[in-house]
Amino acid sequence: MNYILEVNNLSKEFNNFTLDNISFRLEPGYIMGFIGPNGAGKSTTIKLIMNLINKSGGEIKVFGLDHIEHEKEIKDRIGFVYDESHYYENLTIKQMKSIVSGFYSKWDDNIFNRYMREFNLNPKSKIKTLSKGMKTKFSLAVALSHNADLIIMDEPTSGLDPIFRREILDILHNIIQDEHKSIFFSTHITTDLEKVADYITFINNGKMVFSRPKDEILDNYAMVKGGTDLLNSDTRNQFIGLRETSVGFEGLTDNIDNIKKIFKDEVLIERATLEDIMFYIVRR
């Protein structure tokens, strides 16, 4: 199998945090959502992939190549959208584009100008005058204008209005129609991933929780709701996470058949969302 992105046993040690033994693989033609609470290690993982910080251990391959040994070649084929703007604030969009475009061997002005029109960006506008949403649009235009084979996005839709978020998701869906391209998409907005992601990689407190097909995850987990009179020391142990109130409980399970045997028709079983799964696993 040829993978666009391979992360094997990746680790990074800080004074107060350790990214520990992270592994996942992304095939061409797919979108992988990358989730976890604040401080889980998502941005650290992305910085390691981009070789912005040094890893303590493990292996990262992009396009089958070592991410350090072949860094220049790899970055020529990556479109990177970060959660904050790192452009020169006093330059105009046009001036900034002239600088950035020189770094990429396959830069296409026609594609860039098309996204400028589509995103309603004025080339004469200075970067510092752009809203967060407009800066994200500019970053996305840059990322999409050099025929990148891998798009890496770190919280790109945070703080954006629902209309533009939906536009971004449509663009991402169109990108992977080219089965040679893939997207690695870190976000807190799990509803976006439910719309477009093929795989979900979930980390918490620097450790792997799972990396699995999205549909498999959503099929295997469920929310269970019922009265508190159904709970005792044994039944509580059937749940990954549990929330109790004065009127009832709800809990997350990954063993739906067992729940049905124990509670029969006394509980309501509903499909879990990615947000449910992340919340109850983190707060278990």
Q: pLDDT tens, 89-135?
A: 999 999 999 999 999 999 999 999 999 998 899 999 999 999 888 88
Q: Which of 182, 184, 180 is nearest to 193 (CA)?
A: 184
Q: What is the pLDDT of residue 98?
A: 95
Length of the chain: 284
Cβ burial of 92 (10 Å; 0-12, 13-18, 19+) is middle
* Chain segment 11-51, per-residue pLDDT in tens: 999 999 999 999 999 999 999 999 999 899 999 999 999 99
Cβ burial of 263 (10 Å; 0-12, 13-18, 19+) is middle
* Chain segment 150-168, per-residue pLDDT in tens: 999 988 777 677 888 888 8
CA distance 268 to 224: 6
Would you say 211 and 199 are in contact if contact means Cβ atoms under 8 Å apart?
Answer: yes
Query: Which percentage of the chain shows pLDDT scores above 70?
Result: 99
Q: For residue 73, what are the contacts with CB-CB under 8 A and spacing of at least 6?
A: 65
The pTM of this model reads: 0.91
* Chain segment 207-237, per-residue pLDDT in tens: 999 999 999 999 999 999 999 999 998 999 9
Would you say 199 and 34 are in contact if contact means Cβ atoms under 8 Å apart?
Answer: no
